[in-house]
């Protein structure tokens, strides 16, 4: 194993590659929706399961996997997560049916949850100097953000030239490279911390999220009066209540409820839910809109998202510089307001309308989202003590994934009928809901968020 700066750079590349495949698989699958629709003769609910099976497990296990890394060592858990993610990706690419694809996506989600927090723990251990560590984490976040933004474009090219299976098989060479770099450059794990795992809380969280997701997805097939739907809602409520009860009494909770009493942190987490609810839902709906309603090819669909991709990259970099100049409160208000305007401008969209009418609304929605994400991260971490920064980051990321999960479930339910007029009504309702929620978040930040010192 190399030492010194070469080893630190190798650790950064290895950790970033793991983050790249995780975020690619959040967004890349959307441009293959029409291909999956035809391949498996499924409906919108089936497509929702392909997207949400991954996000569901990722969100539910994100907090516990960091504790597992503390206990057993981040390098060991990262390599295990990378192996599981890579094997599950191959299983996705080889899936003979929809059920097997969804099962493989669930395994991908487990691998993703193991990868993300432990990649950060590896960086924290490799970069002892706070300034160097901050830069390394900045590069890690920027590379991951570019991967997620570029997902639709890359996915379009892969589907067009290699079929839908290629969007999963591309993870094989990336996973092998990341594993080799990890073995070569990342220091071996030392003695772990005797940190307890919150098993009961984890079980309750999985049950609550799984029941809620299944209810929202299957309500379109079974109807809201179905006994199965009513039972799913009841299970989600009971499991959610049990989760809060367990966390309030646990000696080592996966979600310390005291964090939610810190106003700035609670607002940042809530805004994380709202922002990802709108953005993930928008990408899912417009992927269907471009492919099923406007009959664009996967490659054309990926290129249709290109303006959003470019502005996401640029605005993310800009937000990191602006937050220390104008403050988190103003930047959050600006970002949420811009995103709300973008969604509102999508309301008059028609199926036969020209693509040019979509560019400005999509740019506004993406730029507002990009301004919010690094700002809410800065806000969340600045509002807690340094010793709790790790758990605060985990809670914020979990809340964002839950928001994305709900966005795809709710918006997918609204556009479940693919007949043009029914789909259009569902799409308009989806964008309207997103705009209202973002405006409420904007008002919440303006009235309840106290400005933090700019240098903090």
| DSSP state for residue 258 in the 8-state scheme | G
Instruction: Determine, yes or no, domain membership for 345.
Output: yes
Average pLDDT over residues 317-339: 80
At 193-215, the pLDDT tens digits run 556 777 888 899 889 988 888 88
Note whether residue 190 is domain-resident. Answer: no
- Count: domains in the chain: 3
Q: Does one domain contain both 319 and 389?
A: yes
Same domain, 243 and 300: no
24, two tokens? 């690619």
Cα 277 off chain centre by: 10
Question: CA-CA distance, 75 to 317, in Å (whole number)?
Answer: 29
What does the alpha-carbon distance between residue 388 and residue 226 come to, in Å, rounded to a whole number? Answer: 44
Say yes or no: 248 and 261 in one domain: no
Digit-coded pLDDT (tens) for 239-269: 999 999 998 988 778 788 888 888 989 999 9
Whether residues 173 and 321 share a domain: the answer is no
**Which of the 8 DSSP states describes residue 386?**
G
pLDDT (tens digit per residue) in 23-48: 888 878 888 888 898 899 888 888 88
- Which residue would you say has higher pLDDT here, 90 or 373? 90
Q: Let me know whether 180 and 210 are in one domain.
A: no
Chain CA centroid to CA 249, Å: 29
Provide, rounded to the nearest whole percent, the portion of the chain with pLDDT above 90: 32
Is residue 76 in a domain?
yes
Per-residue model confidence as pLDDT tens digits over 108-151: 999 998 998 888 788 878 887 777 776 777 677 777 777 877 78
Among 253, 270, 292, give the residue marking a domain's end: 253
* DSSP H or E segment with residue 113: helix 98-126
Spatial neighbors of 194 by CB under 8 A, at least 6 apart, are 71
- What does the pLDDT read at residue 102? 94
**CA gap 301, 261 in Å, rounded:** 43
- DSSP-based three-state secondary structure for 249: helix
Domain boundary residue among 184, 216, 234? Answer: 184
Please state, in angstroms and rounded to a whole number, the distance separating the CA atoms of residues 346 and 357.
9
Query: pLDDT grade, residue 192 (50/70/90)?
Result: low
Residues 399 and 431 grouped into a single domain: yes
With a CB cutoff of 8 Å and minimum separation 6, the contacts of 271 are: 332, 336, 372, 376, 441, 444, 445
Is 370 exposed, middle or buried (CB count within 10 Å of its CB: 0-12, 13-18, 19+)? Answer: buried
pLDDT digits (tens, 9 = 90+) for 366-407: 889 888 887 887 787 777 776 666 677 778 888 888 898 899
Q: Would 194 be classed as within a structural domain? A: no
pLDDT for the residue numbered 81: 94
Kindly tell me if the per-residue pLDDT of 166 is higher than 90.
Answer: yes
Q: Say whether pLDDT at 434 is over 90.
A: yes
Q: Are residues 155 and 219 in the same domain?
A: no
Helix/strand number for the chain, H first, E second: 17, 0
pTM of the prediction? 0.82
Question: Residue 50 domain-assigned?
Answer: yes
Residue 9 lies in a domain: yes
User: If pLDDT is split at 50, 70 and 90, which confidence band does 4 have?
Assistant: low
Residue 278's nearest CA partner among 163, 124, 437, 143 is: 437
Q: Which of 185, 63, 54, 165 is nearest to 123 (CA)?
A: 185
Average pLDDT over residues 313-317: 68
CATH code at position 360: 1.20.1250.20
* Cβ contacts of 365 within 8 Å, gap of 6 or more: 278, 279, 282, 308, 338, 339, 342, 343, 346
Residue 98 sits in the same domain as residue 216: no
Task: Answer yes or no: do 208 and 305 share one domain.
Answer: no
Say yes or no: 215 and 131 in one domain: no
User: Residue 387 to residues 58, 116, 381, 392: CA-CA distances in angstroms?
Assistant: 24, 19, 10, 10
Q: What is the pLDDT of residue 390?
A: 64
Give 378: exposed, middle or buried? Use CB within 10 Å, 0-12, 13-18, 19+: buried
- Asked whether 254 and 63 are in contact (CB, 8 A), the reply is yes
* Spatial contact of 198 and 252, defined as CB atoms under 8 Å apart: yes
Residue 302's pLDDT is what? 85
**For residues 316-334, average pLDDT:** 76
d(CA 260, CA 253) in angstroms, rounded, equals: 13
Overall average pLDDT of the 408-422 stretch: 88
User: 145 vs 59, 124, 141, 253, 403, CA distance in Å?
Assistant: 18, 19, 6, 29, 17
- Break the chain down into helix, strand, coil percent, rounded to 5: 85, 0, 15
Residue 1 has pLDDT above 80, yes or no: no
Residue 155, pLDDT > 90, answer no
Q: Are residues 3 and 121 in the same domain?
A: yes
- Whether residue 87 is contained in a domain is answered as yes
Kindly state whether residues 177 and 219 are assigned to the same domain.
no
134 domain-assigned: yes
Q: Which domain holds residue 448?
A: 257-456
pLDDT digits (tens, 9 = 90+) for 272-304: 999 999 998 988 899 899 998 998 888 888 888
| Residues 331-360: tens digit of each pLDDT | 899 999 999 999 999 999 888 888 888 889
Give the lowest-confidence range in 158-172, 219-233, 317-331. 317-331
pLDDT for 454 beyond 50: no
């Amino acid at each position: 194993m190399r030492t010194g700066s070469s080893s630190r750079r190798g650790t950064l590349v290895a950790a970033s590659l793991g983050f790249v495949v995780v975020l690619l698989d959040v967004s890349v699958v959307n441009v293959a929706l029409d291909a999956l629709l035809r391949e498996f003769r499924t409906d919108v609910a089936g497509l929702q399961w392909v997207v949400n099976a991954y996000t569901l497990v990722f969100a539910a296990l994100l907090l516990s996997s960091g504790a597992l890394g503390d206990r057993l060592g981040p390098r060991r858990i990262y390599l295990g997560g990378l192996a599981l993610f890579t094997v599950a990706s191959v299983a996705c690419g080889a899936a003979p049916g929809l059920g097997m694809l969804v099962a493989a996506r669930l395994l991908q989600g487990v691998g993703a949850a193991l990868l993300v927090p432990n990649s950060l723990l590896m960086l924290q251990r490799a970069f002892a100097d706070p300034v160097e560590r901050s830069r390394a984490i900045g590069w890690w976040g920027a590379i991951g953000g570019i991967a997620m933004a570029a997902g639709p474009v890359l996915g379009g090219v892969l589907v067009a030239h290699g079929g839908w299976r290629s969007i999963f098989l591309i993870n094989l060479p990336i996973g092998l490279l990341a594993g080799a770099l990890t073995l070569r450059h990342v220091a071996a794990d030392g003695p772990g911390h005797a940190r307890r795992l919150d098993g009961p809380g984890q079980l309750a969280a999985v049950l609550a999220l799984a029941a809620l997701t299944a209810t929202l997805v299957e309500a379109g097939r079974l109807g809201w009066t179905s006994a199965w739907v009513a039972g799913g809602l009841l299970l989600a409520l009971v499991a959610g209540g049990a989760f809060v009860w367990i966390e309030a009494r646990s000696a080592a909770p996966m979600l310390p409820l005291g964090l939610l009493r810190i106003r700035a942190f609670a607002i940042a987490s809530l805004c994380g839910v709202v922002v990802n609810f709108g953005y993930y839902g928008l990408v899912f709906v417009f992927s269907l809109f471009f492919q099923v309603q406007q009959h664009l090819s996967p490659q054309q669909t990926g290129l249709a998202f290109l303006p959003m991709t470019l502005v996401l990259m640029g605005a993310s970099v800009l937000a990191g510089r602006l937050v220390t100049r104008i403050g988190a409160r103003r930047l959050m208000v600006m970002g949420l307001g811009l995103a709300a305007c973008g969604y509102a401008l999508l309301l008059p969209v028609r199926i036969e309308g020209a693509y040019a009418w979509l560019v400005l609304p999509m740019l506004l929605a993406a730029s507002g989202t990009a301004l919010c994400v690094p700002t809410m991260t800065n806000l969340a971490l600045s509002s807690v003590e340094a010793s709790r920064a790790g758990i605060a980051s985990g809670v914020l990321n979990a809340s964002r994934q839950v928001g994305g999960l709900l966005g795809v479930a709710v918006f997918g339910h609204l556009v479940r009928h693919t007949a043009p007029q029914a789909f259009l009504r569902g799409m308009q309702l989806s964008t309207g809901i997103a705009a209202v929620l973002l405006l409420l978040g904007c008002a919440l930040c303006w009235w309840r968020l106290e400005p933090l010192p700019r240098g903090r």
